[in-house]
Structure 1
């Protein structure tokens, strides 16, 4: 694991996974986890993407995991800037962004604001949404429902239902605690309580795959509206028997959907023309 320090002093922990040498290596992928998550939860997808011959970078978002626990800000702008810093530091552009939940929202904003850095976008249970005034209180109630400290990682695993969530713990004298700060997590969603981001969505130029879990929290109307507003470069997928954590509930089906998208829709000549035009305009 390595770290990158941002201009505001926040340390971002990341891992750069490289596949075995292949005759024609694929474009790199940056994975962005959701609220209260960590980079380790992408383990299954990382292995599958490496087998596909892709370079994969994972990281703990500011306020999460091994990154700075209480950074100066967790604004949407700051989170986008962190991802951009990684892309530039590791020379990943043009990169494929795959983000789940709040990480998907960060990926969406990045693709809108920095189009020349992004080749393709995969959003998992994430989208522009509508202002949700009660979101901070909902997140607070969710965090407060966790029976911390946990007696053991096994107890956390039984509560969360996924090994990956139980892996994001630290041991203290009185038990095991998630590696996030409650108030920081609530602050991370405050902008979503008062803003929607449909204008950002319509500005995105790269191909996008939008994945909804059949039992997830993403509204079906948002899912279909995303294609309606970008009909020629948006692919929709619904993963059965999956809730909000599609990457944990159905990793094989998720990889199949992503792989198909990246080898067909995301490789179109149309997108390459758009990308070159944007680059020329920037120069």
Structure 2
């Protein structure tokens, strides 16, 4: 990936893969992807961070990409936050954490619980209030690939159906990096057991209150970056978050959907690195 190097961090009992770019003396910026994604979704942001002199790190969360899967098949927000806290302890200085969706939730929980580990926080289209319909669309898409795909073109068709606002790529080499070939079929690079996350009734009941409490406890500089067409974060959800976190900054990217970095990369980089450069 550009001029990046492969690295490994230790989470809570699992090894987590990462790409690292930029000068070792640069302020560290840690990018965390969303559900079903991998560190490769940050390719352009990683390179831009390195170009600007930051020590940019893109991490695969447990059960995703090249990171180890949970040995017991368990996944929950607390576990992702524990992994993140362990990773942050391995940095020479507190990084600026940029988290999309699931990665943002882990970042918010960790920054609230141990602010000494986080220099600043960027939440990419995620708040304490998550819209059900948008979440269901994400999980339905992930579920549709559980049995794998016969060809790369079939996988590309599934992505195009899920993201109709994007032009379907003619070259499947990019999508191939997010798939693995097993028994003659292509599977996404994430643990199928991840689909059980949130199925436990006690977890579902406690999660909203825990996220609101974490938002209210945030003291680090915070930016909420929202896609104007997001179905995960509504206008009301963004306003509510800013009431919980009065010191937070807020940027809407009008034509972007949930995956802002992919939908409007230039606008995303401008908003993120303007904030990062000030903190």
Is the TM-score greater than 0.5? yes
Q: Over aligned residue pairs, what C-alpha RMSD do you find?
A: 2.6
Shift of 1:37: 0.7
Structure 2 match to 1:68: 68
CA distance 1:248–1:116, shift in 2 (3 Å): same
- SS at structure 1 position matched to 2:195: helix
1:13 and 2:6 aligned: no
Structure 1 match to 2:84: 83
Of 140-149 and 75-84, the range deviating more from structure 2: 140-149
Structure 2 match to 1:272: none
Shift of 1:131: 9.3
Shift of 1:56: 0.9
> Hey, what's the Cα distance between the residues in 2 that align with 1:2 and 1:58?
10
CA distance 1:183–1:126, shift in 2 (3 Å): same
1:3 and 2:15 aligned: no
Of 242-251 and 149-158, the range deviating more from structure 2: 149-158
1:228 and 2:239 aligned: no
Structure 1 match to 2:163: none
Question: Which ranges in structure 2 are unaligned for 5 or more consecutive residues?
Answer: 1-5, 161-168
Shift of 1:166: 4.8
Which of structure 1's runs of 4+ aligned residues deviate more than 4 A?
A: 134-140, 162-166, 188-192
- SS at structure 1 position matched to 2:238: helix
CA distance 1:227–1:41, shift in 2 (3 Å): same
> Hey, what's the Cα distance between the residues in 2 that align with 1:184 and 1:254?
28
Shift of 1:137: 7.0
> Hey, what's the Cα distance between the residues in 1 that align with 2:76 and 2:256?
29
> Hey, what's the Cα distance between the residues in 2 that align with 1:258 and 1:45?
9
CA distance 1:63–1:248, shift in 2 (3 Å): same
CA distance 1:139–1:260, shift in 2 (3 Å): closer
User: Any idea what the Cα deviations from partners look like across 1:124-175, whole Å, max 9, x if unmatched?
Assistant: 111112696x999766533333384323334323431477655210012322
User: Which of 182, 191, 198 matches 1:172?
Assistant: 182
Q: Is the 8 A contact 2:143 2:195 kept in 1?
A: no
- SS at structure 2 position matched to 1:237: strand
> Hey, what's the Cα distance between the residues in 2 that align with 1:125 and 1:173?
36
Aligned residues: 257
Shift of 1:84: 1.8
Question: Which ranges in structure 1 are unaligned for 5 or more consecutive residues?
Answer: 268-283
TM-score normalised over the length of structure 1: 0.81
CA distance 1:206–1:156, shift in 2 (3 Å): same
Shift of 1:221: 0.7
User: Any idea what the Cα deviations from partners look like across 1:257-277, whole Å, max 9, x if unmatched?
Assistant: 11221234xx3xxxxxxxxxx
Shift of 1:223: 0.6
Structure 2 match to 1:118: 118
> Hey, what's the Cα distance between the residues in 2 that align with 1:7 and 1:107?
15
